[in-house]
Amino acid sequence: MSQTFHIPGQPITAYVQRIEIKKLREGSNLILGFSIGGGIDQDPGQNPFSEDKTDKGIYVTRVTPGGPAEDAGLIMGDKIMQVNGWDMTMVTHDQARKKLTKKSEDVVRLLVTRKSLEDAVRKSM
C-alpha cells in the first residue's frame, strides 16, 4: 500500500524497512551522516523525492558517503516514518531534527519507506 494520495486522518499503511544507525562521535558531536528535509512547516511542493506533492513527511535528502547512515543502508529519497518509536509523519522540521540528534542516544532505529520497497514486495507476491 503506497502512501500516495493519503487522506489526512486515515491510518497510513506502508512497507517499511528497519534501519539501525550507530552514531559516530566526531569531536563533541554525534553525527549520523545524512540530511533531512521536509516537515509540516515546510513547503511540500519543493520536495524532489516525494510522489505525492502534498506529502509533508521527513525525507532523506543527502547521505554522506562513508558515514554511518550509508553503512546502515539508508538511501537518498527515503521517507522516515519513525525514529526510535517517535512518529515522523506529522512533525515539524525542527522536531524531527531534535528526535534524531538526542545526545543521550547512541543508536537510532529508523523505519523508512521508499517506492522501490513497495514494488519489490509486489513483485514477490
Partner 1 sequence: MGAEKTEIRPSSASPPTSKIDSLRSKVELLKLPLALSSKTLTERKTQLGGARRGTGGGGAHKPRPPAPDMDNESQYSGYSYKSSHSRSSRKHRDRRDRHRSKSRDSSSRGDKSVTIQAPGEPLLDTESTRGDDRDDNWGETTTVVTGTSEHSVSNEDLTRASKELEDSSPLECRRFAGPVLSGVLGLFALLTPLAFLLLPQLLWRDGLEPCGTPCEGLYVSLAFKLLVLLISSWALFLRPPRATLPRFFVFRCLLMALVFLFVASYWLFYGVRVLEPRERDYRGIVGYAVSLVDALLFIQYLALVLLEVRQLQPAFCLKVVRTTDGASRFYNVGHLSIQRAAVWVLDQYYSDFPVYNPALLNLPKSILSKKMSGFKVYSLGEENSTNNSTGQSRAMIAAAARRRDNSHNEYYYEEAEMERRIRKRKARLVVAVEEAFTHIKRLQDDETAASSPKHPREVMDPREAAQAIFAPMARAMQKYLRTTRQQPYHSMESIISHLQFCITHNMTPKAFLERYLTPGPTMQYQRENSRGRQWTLVSEEPVTSALRQGLVFSLRRLDFALVVTVTPLPFLHLGEEFIDPKSHKFVMRLQSETSV
Q: Which residues bind partner 1 (CB under 8 A)?
A: 31-32, 34-38, 41-43, 45-47, 61-62, 64, 93, 97, 100-101
Closest distance to partner 1 from the beta carbon of 111 (Å):
16
As a whole number of angstroms, the distance between CA 17 and CA 39 comes to: 20
Query: Residue 16 or 31: which CB sits closer to partner 1?
Result: 31
Query: Residue 3 or 34: which CB sits closer to partner 1?
Result: 34
What sign has the CA pseudo-torsion 88, 57, 112, 20? negative
Per 3-state DSSP, the chain is made up of helix, strand and coil in percentages (nearest 5) of 20, 30, 50
Closest distance to partner 1 from the beta carbon of 94 (Å):
8
Tell me the pairing of strands 107-113 and 79-83.
antiparallel
Query: Residue 11 or 65: which CB sits closer to partner 1?
Result: 65
Closest distance to partner 1 from the beta carbon of 6 (Å):
19
Residues 108, 84: contact at Cβ < 8 Å?
A: yes
